[in-house]
Amino acid sequence: MSPENASTAISSDCPGHLQPSELGTKQYWDHYYEEEFAAIRDEGAEDRDIGRLSTWFEDVNAPQRVLNFLISSEFPFAPCHFLAGTANEAPSILDLGTGNGQTLFQLRLQGGFRGQMTGLDYSKASIQLAQELGKNQQDCQDIRFEVMDIISDEPKEQEWWPEDGFDLVLDKGTFDAISLSEDVVESSTSNLSQTHQASVRLHTLYPSRALSMVKPGGFLLVTSCNWTQEELIHWFTGGATGSSHSASVWKCIEYPKFKFGGQEGQGACTVCFRKALSFE
């Protein structure tokens, strides 16, 4: 079964699947971060400015838009709700596909987030880069970076795993990258009478895996430039994956819209999902 046909075995109403590309391969990202790591090794520690690092979706100002949303008073886990001297405990944050760690550094240094922070990436070069950069950033030394493949590894077996999951899980293009992978795995689907095995593209498993790392009542924030807002919502609210984790749309971040060929669109979309306190 080809990857394109295999992926449709999950659900007949899935959004369309993306054509595989090198951006969906581990080899591409290993090489990318190895080159970025080599570049910073040529600089002295005092000259390493994380503001010069490559970042995600800069063309639509996504990093700043997401930061503004997360620190706004409307967001329940914003730092303004966790002032020093209060009984509230600062939220824990997990960054999926952390890359060079820029997102977590920004949340700590510009956003004022003070809780547990963990960045995951399946690229060892990415984690080595993020760890090296974190050593030389004031107030960032306690941010943890770990190698993990969200599809094949079990997060609850890791010693850094919090008992109930993380309050806030971030994805800024990781679902996009996995959606470009041509790799397939065997997955089981069940009905009342029998269980079926099917080969599926990796991204069909990703929404359920990502939501499993969110604490009940917590948030998953997903930014994409490859999927429309409607498609993203379909993937992460269970319609496309049959996920056992119930989630709903809490907020969508607005981006500038453009018109092309009579159609209206935007360069990226960010959707904040909230995981249900219990599955109903």
Q: What pLDDT, on the 0 to 100 scale, is given for residue 112?
A: 95
DSSP, residue by residue, 79-130: GGGS-TTSSPPPPPEEEET-TTSHHHHHHHHTT---S-EEEEES-HHHHHHH
Residue 11 has pLDDT above 90, yes or no: no
Topology annotation, domain 60-187+197-275: Rossmann fold (3.40.50)
Q: What pLDDT, on the 0 to 100 scale, is given for residue 202?
A: 84
Determine the distance from the C-alpha atom of residue 180 to the mean position of all C-alpha atoms in its chain, rounded to a whole number: 15
Band of the pLDDT at 280, cuts 50, 70, 90? very low
Residue pair 148/120 in contact by the 8 Å Cβ criterion: yes
Task: Say what the pTM is.
Answer: 0.85
Query: Higher pLDDT residue, 17 or 106?
Result: 106
- In the chain, the percentage of residues whose pLDDT exceeds 70 is 78
The b/e string for 208-234 (b: 16+ C-beta within 10 A; e otherwise) is bbbbbbbbeebbbbbbbbbbebebbbb
Lowest-pLDDT range of 65-69, 99-103, 232-236, 265-269:
265-269
- 241: helix, strand or coil: coil
Domain ranges (residues) in the chain: 60-187+197-275
Q: What pLDDT, on the 0 to 100 scale, is given for residue 169?
A: 98
Q: What pLDDT, on the 0 to 100 scale, is given for residue 193?
A: 59
pLDDT tens digits, one per residue of 207-247: 999 999 999 999 999 999 999 999 999 999 975 544 556 89
Q: What pLDDT, on the 0 to 100 scale, is given for residue 72?
A: 97
- In the block, tokens 């004022």 appear at 112
- 71: helix, strand or coil: helix
pLDDT tens digits, one per residue of 108-161: 999 999 999 999 999 999 999 999 999 888 899 999 999 999 999 999 999 999
- In the chain, the percentage of residues whose pLDDT exceeds 90 is 59
Residue 48 has pLDDT above 60, yes or no: no
Q: What pLDDT, on the 0 to 100 scale, is given for residue 9?
A: 33
